[in-house]
Chain A
Amino acid sequence: NAGVTQTPKFRVLKTGQSMTLLCAQDMNHEYMYWYRQDPGMGLRLIHYSVGEGTTAKGEVPDGYNVSRLKKQNFLLGLESAAPSQTSVYFCASSYSSSGLAGVISSYNEQFFGPGTRLTVL
Chain B
Amino acid sequence: AQRVTQPEKLLSVFKGAPVELKCNYSYSGSPELFWYVQYSRQRLQLLLRHISRESIKGFTADLNKGETSFHLKKPFAQEEDSAMYYCALMVGSQGNLIFGKGTKLSVKP
Category for how many chain A residues contact B = 20 to 34
Category for how many chain B residues contact A = 20 to 34
Which residues 76-95 in B have Cβ within 8 Å of A in the complex?
Answer: 86, 90, 93-95
Residue of B nearest to A41 (CB): B101
State in angstroms the CA–CA spacing of A40 and B102 once bound together. Answer: 8
Residue of B nearest to A50 (CB): B94
A102 contacts partner chain B, Cβ-Cβ < 8 Å: no
Evaluate contact between A97 and B94: CB separation under 8 angstroms.
Answer: yes
Evaluate contact between B100 and A108: CB separation under 8 angstroms.
Answer: no
State in angstroms the CA–CA spacing of A109 and B97 once bound together. Answer: 10
- The listed residue with most B CB atoms (<10 A of its CB), out of A31, A35, A110, A115, is A110
Residue of A nearest to B97 (CB): A110
- The listed residue with most B CB atoms (<10 A of its CB), out of A41, A43, A44, A115, is A43
Evaluate contact between B99 and A31: CB separation under 8 angstroms.
Answer: no
Evaluate contact between A42 and B100: CB separation under 8 angstroms.
Answer: yes
Residue of A nearest to B6 (CB): A42
On whether A48 and B43 interact (CB within 8 A), knowing A42-B101, A104-B51, A109-B49, the answer reads: no
State in angstroms the CA–CA spacing of A83 and B14 once bound together. Answer: 40
Residue of B nearest to A90 (CB): B44
- Ranked nearest first, the 5 interchain pairs of A and B with the lowest CB-CB distance are A42-B101, A112-B44, A42-B99, A43-B99, A109-B46
Query: CB within 8 Å of A: which residues of B?
Result: 4, 9, 32, 34, 43-46, 49, 51-52, 86, 90, 93-102
Query: CB within 8 Å of B: which residues of A?
Result: 4, 31, 33, 35, 40-45, 48, 50, 56, 58-59, 90, 92, 94, 96-97, 104-105, 107-115
